[in-house]
Amino acid sequence: MAPARDFYEILGVPRTASQDEIQRAYRKLARKQHPDVSKHPDSEETFKQASEAYDVLSDPSTRKRYDAFGPEFRRVSEDVDPEAFSRARQARARAGSGVGGRGGAGADQGFVSDIDLESLLGSMFGASGAGQGRGRASWGPIPGADQETELDVSVEEAYRGGRRSISVQGPDGSRTLRVTIPAGVTDGQRIRLAGQGARGTDGAPPGDLYLIARIAPHPRYRVQGRDVHVELRLAPWEAALGTTVALETPDGEAKVKVPAGTSSGRQLRLRGRGLPNPRGSPGHLFASARVMVPSKLSDQEQRLFSELADISSFDPRAS
């Protein structure tokens, strides 16, 4: 049986790829290899492999187990510590290459005949695995693993920042943390909370907790990077004659100059009124014009619109 392909190789990303890079790679493959789109005979199998790879790598906890245990990660008991497993694997590799042991010519594919692998791996698998009945191996202090979780951030919080209490679920139960959301945080940005990850063993320091910011949908604003988009509603005469109107933004009220002859869909840019940037230029705010027509007209409005229709030569459907 052919060895299982590496999930990173299937998606075409490095092992250091971010969650966003993994998602983009999967979407690109899915669009290209979906059986309803691709005519290639292997498209269905390729699509299945890409879906499986994405299911594993898109989940931080599952990805961590895959990185630690490889293709056999589903068969390894949940109570096996990935850090301890990695240390054992590295020790075995060093022994197999003759580093710190009697390897070299007598080694077979990286394993040394007189290395007691049961003792080496016994502490990981307990009674159900290697080293049954023997004492647990001592690995010494092992630093705690880093953890990550997503944090929904409102557009207003992304502008101004703030403090908030969040609940984090971990192996030791739920914890409540008071966190600072920096002003100008963008979608996908990682916020590091030092020492708030998993506990270490034998007095080793804990890992870090990373909050992945996700800008929550908003009924008025749409965020792209540091740019913010909002709809600007205009009366027909405001769009035709030009005007200056007040516009509510997440950063407070702004004045928008509307040029004469503005049609629906025109983008009016307010420089520097997007998300702030602590280390550079802020984003912009784009107001998209939308001309609104009264649903009901008074008698006078009806008369004036009729007069305009009679004297105007404007044809909106002309090329």
For the chain, state the CA radius of gyration. 30
Q: Which residues are CB-neighbours of 268 under 8 A, at least 6 positions away?
A: 232, 256, 257, 258, 262, 286, 287, 288, 289
- Residue 81 reports pLDDT greater than 60: yes
- Residue 108 reports pLDDT greater than 60: no
Q: Is 21 exposed, middle or buried (0-12, 13-18, 19+ CB in 10 A)?
A: middle
Give the tokens for residue 270: 């307010």
The pLDDT value recorded for residue 235 is 95
Mean residue pLDDT across the chain: 80
Q: Which residues are paired to 212 by β-bridges?
A: 150, 190
The pLDDT value recorded for residue 93 is 63
Q: Average the pLDDT over each of 35-44, 65-74, 249-258 and give the range with the smallest value.
A: 35-44
- Residue 101 reports pLDDT greater than 50: no
* Same domain flag for 201 and 241: no
Q: Which residues are paired to 150 by β-bridges?
A: 212
Q: Please report which confidence band the pLDDT of residue 302 belongs to, taking 50, 70 and 90 as the band edges.
A: very high
Q: What is the CATH number of the domain that holds 239?
A: 2.60.260.20
The pLDDT value recorded for residue 35 is 62
The pLDDT value recorded for residue 110 is 35
The alpha-helical segments, DSSP class H, found in 203-277 are 236-241
- Residue 160 reports pLDDT greater than 80: yes
Centroid of chain to Cα 84: 28
* Same domain flag for 158 and 101: no
Flag whether 179 is in a domain.
Answer: yes
The pLDDT value recorded for residue 185 is 93
Q: Which helix (H) or strand (E) holds 227?
A: strand 227-234
The pTM for the full model equals 0.55
Flag whether 137 is in a domain.
Answer: no
Indicate the SS3 state at residue 221.
strand
Average of per-residue pLDDT across 241-261:
94
Of 184, 215, 246, the domain-final residue: 215
The pLDDT value recorded for residue 129 is 43
Q: What backbone torsions phi and psi does residue 249 show, to the nearest 5 degrees?
A: -125, 165
The pLDDT value recorded for residue 139 is 56
* Same domain flag for 11 and 94: yes
* Same domain flag for 91 and 46: yes
* Same domain flag for 210 and 233: no
Query: Helix crossing, 43-57 with 60-69: angle to 10°?
Result: 100
Centroid of chain to Cα 149: 10
Q: Please report which confidence band the pLDDT of residue 155 belongs to, taking 50, 70 and 90 as the band edges.
A: very high
Q: Which residues are paired to 209 by β-bridges?
A: 147, 193
* Same domain flag for 192 and 267: no
* Same domain flag for 210 and 158: yes
* Same domain flag for 15 and 114: yes
Of 215, 235, 261, the domain-final residue: 215
CA distance 66 to 87: 15
* Same domain flag for 203 and 228: no
Of 197, 215, 233, the domain-final residue: 215
- Residue 125 reports pLDDT greater than 50: no
Flag whether 140 is in a domain.
Answer: no
Q: Please report which confidence band the pLDDT of residue 255 belongs to, taking 50, 70 and 90 as the band edges.
A: very high
Flag whether 26 is in a domain.
Answer: yes
* Same domain flag for 211 and 227: no
CA distance 284 to 256: 13
Flag whether 139 is in a domain.
Answer: no
Measured distance between the N- and C-terminal CA atoms of the chain, rounded to whole angstroms: 64
CA distance 150 to 47: 27
Mode of pairing for the β-strands spanning 285-291 and 227-234: parallel
pLDDT tens figures, 172-206: 678 899 999 999 999 989 899 998 888 887 788 88
Q: How many domains does the chain have?
A: 3
Flag whether 193 is in a domain.
Answer: yes
* Same domain flag for 46 and 121: yes
Range of the domain at 266: 221-311
Helices and strands (H, E) in the chain, number of each type: 9, 11
* Same domain flag for 38 and 124: yes
Flag whether 293 is in a domain.
Answer: yes
Greatest mean pLDDT among 66-70, 135-139, 162-166, 254-258: 254-258
